[in-house]
Structure 1
Amino acid sequence: MPMGWDIQTTKDFLTLRKEDYVNSSLLFMYLFLVITSLMIGKSVSTALFISKYGALYLPYAIIGQTILLTVLIAFYLRLSRRLQPSLLISFTLLLLASNAVLLWGMLHFKIAGVIPILYMWGGIFGVIAPMQVWTMGNFIFNTREARRYFGFISSGGILGFVFGGFVSKQLAPQVGAENLLPILTLLCCLAAWLVQLVWRRNRERIAELQTDAADLNVPVSLQQSALQVLESRYLLLITTLVTIASLATKIVDVQFNAITQNFIHDKNEMAAFLGAVNMYMGAGAFFLQLLLGGRMLDKLGISVTILVLPLSLLTSSFAALIFTALWTAVFLRLSDQVFKHSIDKSTTELLYLPIPADIKFQVKSFIDTVVLRVGDGVAALLLLLFTNVIPLINWKRPGSISLVNLPIILLLLFVAFRIRTEYLNALRLGFRNRGLDPKNVSQYISEPATWQELNTYLESPESDEILYALDIMMQGDQREELLLPHLRRLLKHPTVAIRLKALQMLLNLKRDSVVNEAEELLNDPDVQVRAEAARYIYSHGQTDLLTRIQSLPDYPDYIIQGGILLQLFQQNRPDNLPVAQLIFDGMVDDRGESGKAARIEAARVLGLIPLPVKWHCHLIDLLQDDAIEVVSQALESAGKSRHHDFIPFLLEALEDPRTKVAAREALVHYGHRIFGTLKDHLSDDEVDAEIRSHIPHVLSRVGGQDAVQILLDCLEQKDVHLRYKILKALNRLRSNDANLVFDEHKILNQLFAELKQFYRHSQLLLAFNPVAIPLTEAGGRQQDLLTVSLLERQDRAMERIFRLLGLLYPHNDIHQAYYGLRSYRSQVRANTVEFLDNLLNPTIRKFILPIIDSKVTLGQRVRKGRAFWKWKAMTKEEALAELITPSDRWLCACAIYAAGALHLNGLSESIQSMRESFDPLLRETAVRVIKGRKMTAEARL
């Protein structure tokens, strides 16, 4: 290690966090012991087998190993549902340790057939023991933590390669290869003890990360594990990747041994050589992991690191095809093992993290054991096929094995490319709400099955589904015998649109069997329903409509007048206008409280007719009525008319909290015709802020590319509240119409402006209160007003940042990510950070991750911001001086108060200047602070 590196520097370099250093170190040591044991066992078993039988018989041993492992894993998976993971792992390690002692005794007494058994045992050990280390890691760390710590933990395995290789190299020639097995036994026992220690330390954490198993379809057998994999596209792709990688690496392993046997023949020399290769390979892998592993995975993500192993195998296999020498064997081994047990291992383990914890243990065991060994078995079958059936391989020229492996490696590279996208999708599914559109109805209305489905929609509790079914039925051949009972029932539905639609369909059916129900609807609270009921009675009744209406008890005059007025306008006869004028005047003559209902009815009717220009004055009068209810109805009717005479009144109504909603809805009715006026008002700083704040909502409701352009043109607003409203409107547009185009340049400019402000607030917060606690973590702990205000500003800025990201990336993904970061569950937050780390491009990612990762401290975040924008460090007084400006009146007032409480005389001039402020809040705060200072000074005297 270079001089000057202390332990803390090393931990920082390996991306470790202080709070998880113990867990990471224990798993580091656990993996070190397991891999050391594995290297000793593999050196012994391979050397003994090659020396006695030769590489030609390796495929047969591999097939036997695969069959045996499949049986054992089926039993292992059943045990995993009955035993606590820590007990199962410890039991497995102790069983393997006892097996090593037994095999050593059998070798000592030269029992026939023990060497193939030893070779198969070594393969089983190499699958189960390392897999259990990563299973333990997946139980302890969440997604985000795993990215940081798996690289460091992998280094323990790499050092195990070095130490295991060193032991084999040094001791095999002296004591004999088979006499190394007792060392393996001791190391396995130590590893079992570490497992129990790690589990006891992390019981609460493991319980938090696990999902309730009762709510999950957890596989309990080999068959169920296989079905679980087949039912998931993501798990199936992982399985494919592992299988192909197993094929390629196993063929490389056989090719390495085949080349080696041509140069080394003694079993002890063979074991020493294998140990030496493992030692140098481990040393190289360790330095690779130290310099690149954790950092490469943390900075570049799996999209890059997952390609490392396939590319290295491709290079070495080409070399072995061209050159057959001992150095090519070493090159093959290094290209496989160096990357497989460092960068690729950490990457592959990361692929399992989106899988729920209780499913993960069984599924991961299945993939990492059965699937891995099946891949080895298929590799052995391929070698036999191309040796005995298709003589492509010449074992005297082991380089020819590359002809079989190169196509497999290319396929591995292809699958690695594919799984990068699926990993992102799997993370997305972890926190994204999904649903199916219920309105998926066949267009062939006459089909009985379609009618049956539509009938189920008519009985739905959802109004939208009922209206959809009615629309479909109106367009097709209406089966009256089935439809009539539904329509009769829907006449009493609480939704106005459904009652109205049912009446219209009954009118089209020419059926007079619901006249009584229609008469009841003459007293409906909605004028459109009343008018439609009147039309139905007029079309189907046997008596005069007016007679029918007058015969109804307690029927208000204004309802009769409104219904008649609407009928007169709908007949579209010029000679009806004088009569309509008389009726209307009678409805609006009473300007008092007693006439309010009649005036509301009159305003409602004016919105249901093509309003003649000469009648505009009547609606304008109602827009200026003293009763808010009348004004609200007049606003709605003005919007339906879409005439420019009413626009000034609609905009003015946006200022009044009582009428702003109705005014917005009315402006929406105008559609694109009003965009020019809305843009002028939105971009004009002289227009009242309340009016401007409602315009983005109107634009988003109307929609279209022009609305997007107007909002983007007005995005750079000093008013934070207005800027938020514009972003909210843009998000609505993006969500409603995926075909809209958003100017990426403008969005990025605003995004970096918001990020700069967020980081600046972080620096101000650090300077003023270095121990500030985020609002989500504060609980009941009290903090000063300025600290809380700065934290609130950051929360609001965070929402604006994510709304901007929602314009650059899939809207639903960003929306769910924002709420995922606010989850109380640490696993959800970690998965969300991991998801964004993979989703965002590197330029944006380096700014976003420090502000969303809860493991990044306030000081670390500020250092990032200072590096990004070349800011200097600031003192508390400098921070307050920057805040005492009128740009943010509330922060300014809080800073004035804080400066007074801290008796910072250097800020006296800034506080004095606020005494002359036009803002009463700033002026009164400054006066109070100055007065308090004087009283304190007098008290001291």
Structure 2
Amino acid sequence: MSAHIINRLRNVTAFLLSRVVNVRAHELRPMLLGASWFFCLLSGYYLLRPLRDALGLLSGTGELQWLFTATFLVMLAIVPLFGTLVSRLSPRQFVPLAYRFFIVTILIFSALLGTDVKTAWTARIFFVWISVFNLFVVSVFWSVLADCFSNAQGRRLFGFIAAGGTAGGLIGPAIAASVVTTLGPVVLTLCAALLLEVALQCFHGLYPKPGQTIATIEGEIEDVTARGNSTPIGGGVLGGLLLIVQSPYLLGICAYLLLHSAASTFLYFEQGRIVTETFQDTAERARFFAMVDFGVSVFTLGVQLFATGRLMPRFGVGVALIVLPFITAMSFGMVAIWPTVGVLAIAQIARRTLDYSIARPAREVLFTVLDREKKYKAKNAIDTVVYRGGDAVSGWISSALTALGIGFAGITLLCIPLIGLWAALSLWLSRNQERQHKFSQEETSTVKI
């Protein structure tokens, strides 16, 4: 293909995308690579998620709090290992190592499932591993994005990049729902491993090579080696946890995520109860979960493509963050009043749609104003240990409330003041992000990519 035709296709692509997202010409390639990377990550994860949720119910919903606790403990063990990699290796070195490790483990589970080793312990380990795998690889993805894009670019482009993941979330459950009962889980695991390798190749294309120069949005040239991309980030092995403790801003993000995690866990436990009572077969349960995932992806994609990139630049990060507490209150009320599979599906689709399309990109913008050690170490600790710690604690609280005879309607009433606190925290984080952004602009006159 001639250079003329390639340039022509690039110009046409840029024109079409400019109708959807406010992207500059020099941002087109990194934006598409980021979207493709996220597409591969989430399509692979959503191939495995319905299987995880179905296997997690083999021993009943009474074990879910133990599975969440085990996931938290595994996360707690992994954080020092990841801290070691980040301290001694550059992102171009430790990201491939982490992703290849997960590819190997996927292939191991594929072999186990292929030999029909589906004992209760296999199901438990698979549930925990998938939960660890998803949070870890996605956290690394957003750390790299926060390292490569500026705050202003994140507001404009993160919605579209997140849409790439949503498209993957659309394809993944569609495939899982259609083939899991015929071809079995082995095909799903093999496809997930292949997609993770493709995601790694997108990272290689996106992350600047040592000595590479790239254009900023003002048209200037920035030498990325000045940001130390070719060198290890340094710091201590447990630096991420220490950075969190020392920063009110990071502690605020932790609090936001813990409230999010608690709400998700309470609703997840109620989902398990409703689905277990409605469907007796594991394949049917997996099919239901896949159909909900498919619905979430369809609506999320539409919002990300046509609303997110315009919402944050116009109304700010605070409005985008406060969407999640608002829709959570509505979802809890719906399920508490009408605890049926249909209402559950509507509530989950609505809540997860606004979370993935608006609240999640806004949370990632919060990290663009931080230094590189915080973007990788502190962010990874927040996305893994803090998030799964919230799951574990919330799981035990949910079980304790159930043991006391408090149903989901009672939990909903207890959560009302927490949801109010969650909304106030959203506005506080937004104001602090704006202050840090202005301070960073005073410190440097250049931005990224």
Is TM (by shorter chain) over 0.5? yes
Q: How far did 1:43 drift?
A: 0.8
Where in structure 2 are the equivalents of 1:526-545 lying within 5 Å?
none
| Corresponding residue to 2:333 among 318, 326, 340 | 318
Measure the CA separation in 1 of the matches of 2:151 and 2:234.
21
Alignment partner of 2:180: what SS?
helix
Query: Do 1:173 and 1:268's aligned partners in 2 also have CA atoms closer than 8 Å?
Result: yes
User: Does residue 371 of the first structure (1) align with residue 386 of the second (2)?
Assistant: yes
**What's 1:199 paired with?**
207
Measure the CA separation in 1 of the matches of 2:223 and 2:151.
15
| Corresponding residue to 2:406 among 387, 392, 395 | 392
User: Does residue 95 of the first structure (1) align with residue 101 of the second (2)?
Assistant: yes
Query: Do 1:59 and 1:384's aligned partners in 2 also have CA atoms closer than 8 Å?
Result: yes
CA change 1:238–1:264 in 2 (3 A) is same
User: Does residue 424 of the first structure (1) align with residue 424 of the second (2)?
Assistant: no
Measure the CA separation in 2 of the matches of 1:314 and 1:377.
21
User: Does residue 118 of the first structure (1) align with residue 132 of the second (2)?
Assistant: no
**What's 2:446 paired with?**
826
Query: Do 2:87 and 2:236's aligned partners in 1 also have CA atoms closer than 8 Å?
Result: yes
**What's 2:140 paired with?**
132
**What's 1:342 paired with?**
357
Measure the CA separation in 2 of the matches of 1:243 and 1:67.
16
**What's 1:220 paired with?**
236
Measure the CA separation in 1 of the matches of 2:414 and 2:94.
39
Query: Do 1:168 and 1:276's aligned partners in 2 also have CA atoms closer than 8 Å?
Result: no
Q: How far did 1:307 drift?
A: 0.7
Query: Do 1:40 and 1:180's aligned partners in 2 also have CA atoms closer than 8 Å?
Result: yes
User: Does residue 249 of the first structure (1) align with residue 278 of the second (2)?
Assistant: no
CA change 1:273–1:327 in 2 (3 A) is same
Query: Do 1:305 and 1:344's aligned partners in 2 also have CA atoms closer than 8 Å?
Result: yes
| Corresponding residue to 1:208 among 224, 230, 236 | 224
CA deviation vs aligned residue, 1:50-95 (integer Å, no higher than 9, x gap): 1x11223211111111111110122111111112213222222221
Alignment partner of 1:243: what SS?
helix
Measure the CA separation in 1 of the matches of 2:99 and 2:135.
12
Q: Kindly provide the amino acid, as one letter, of the partner of residue 421 in structure 1.
A: R
**What's 1:166 paired with?**
174
CA change 1:262–1:238 in 2 (3 A) is same
Measure the CA separation in 1 of the matches of 2:253 and 2:225.
22
Q: How high is the sequence identity, in percent, across the aligned residues?
A: 19
**What's 2:70 paired with?**
64
Alignment partner of 1:53: what SS?
coil
Q: How far did 1:400 drift?
A: 5.3
Task: Report the aligned-residue RMSD.
Answer: 2.4
Measure the CA separation in 2 of the matches of 1:386 and 1:178.
38
Q: TM-score, normalised by structure 1?
A: 0.43
CA change 1:217–1:86 in 2 (3 A) is closer
Measure the CA separation in 2 of the matches of 1:358 and 1:321.
43
Measure the CA separation in 1 of the matches of 2:378 and 2:234.
9
Q: Kindly provide the amino acid, as one letter, of the partner of residue 239 in structure 1.
A: C
**What's 1:920 paired with?**
none
Query: Do 1:28 and 1:157's aligned partners in 2 also have CA atoms closer than 8 Å?
Result: yes
Q: Kindly provide the amino acid, as one letter, of the partner of residue 131 in structure 2.
A: G
Q: How far did 1:391 drift?
A: 3.0
Measure the CA separation in 2 of the matches of 1:264 and 1:178.
23
**What's 2:374 paired with?**
359
User: Does residue 145 of the first structure (1) align with residue 153 of the second (2)?
Assistant: yes
Q: Kindly provide the amino acid, as one letter, of the partner of residue 405 in structure 2.
A: P
**What's 1:29 paired with?**
36
Measure the CA separation in 1 of the matches of 2:270 and 2:436.
36
**What's 1:414 paired with?**
424
| Corresponding residue to 2:295 among 276, 280, 283 | 280
Q: Kindly provide the amino acid, as one letter, of the partner of residue 356 in structure 2.
A: H
Q: How far did 1:425 drift?
A: 2.4
Q: TM-score, normalised by structure 2?
A: 0.88
Query: Do 1:56 and 1:258's aligned partners in 2 also have CA atoms closer than 8 Å?
Result: no
Query: Do 1:44 and 1:180's aligned partners in 2 also have CA atoms closer than 8 Å?
Result: no
| Corresponding residue to 1:299 among 310, 314, 322 | 314
Q: Kindly provide the amino acid, as one letter, of the partner of residue 292 in structure 1.
A: A
Where in structure 2 are the equivalents of 1:872-887 lying within 5 Å?
none
**What's 2:190 paired with?**
182
Q: Kindly provide the amino acid, as one letter, of the partner of residue 59 in structure 1.
A: Q
Q: How far did 1:319 drift?
A: 0.8
Measure the CA separation in 2 of the matches of 1:422 and 1:159.
32
Alignment partner of 2:182: what SS?
helix
Measure the CA separation in 1 of the matches of 2:90 and 2:233.
18
**What's 1:84 paired with?**
90
**What's 1:268 paired with?**
283
Q: Kindly provide the amino acid, as one letter, of the partner of residue 87 in structure 2.
A: R
**What's 1:10 paired with?**
17
CA deviation vs aligned residue, 1:118-153 (integer Å, no higher than 9, x gap): 000110012011112211111211222222111110
Give structure 2 stretches of 5+ with no counterpart.
Answer: 1-11, 215-221
**What's 2:343 paired with?**
328
CA change 1:249–1:298 in 2 (3 A) is same
Give structure 1 stretches of 5+ with no counterpart.
Answer: 1-5, 433-819, 831-854, 856-941
CA deviation vs aligned residue, 1:679-727 (integer Å, no higher than 9, x gap): xxxxxxxxxxxxxxxxxxxxxxxxxxxxxxxxxxxxxxxxxxxxxxxxx
CA deviation vs aligned residue, 1:236-270 (integer Å, no higher than 9, x gap): 21121122212222222222232222212211122
Alignment partner of 1:367: what SS?
helix
Query: Do 1:211 and 1:356's aligned partners in 2 also have CA atoms closer than 8 Å?
Result: no
Query: Do 2:110 and 2:185's aligned partners in 1 also have CA atoms closer than 8 Å?
Result: no
Where in structure 2 are the equivalents of 1:232-247 lying within 5 Å?
232-247=247-262
Measure the CA separation in 1 of the matches of 2:233 and 2:183.
52
Specify which structure has the bigger relative contact order, considering alpha-carbon pairs within 8 angstroms and separated by 6 or more residues: 2
| Corresponding residue to 1:156 among 136, 158, 164 | 164
CA change 1:400–1:96 in 2 (3 A) is farther
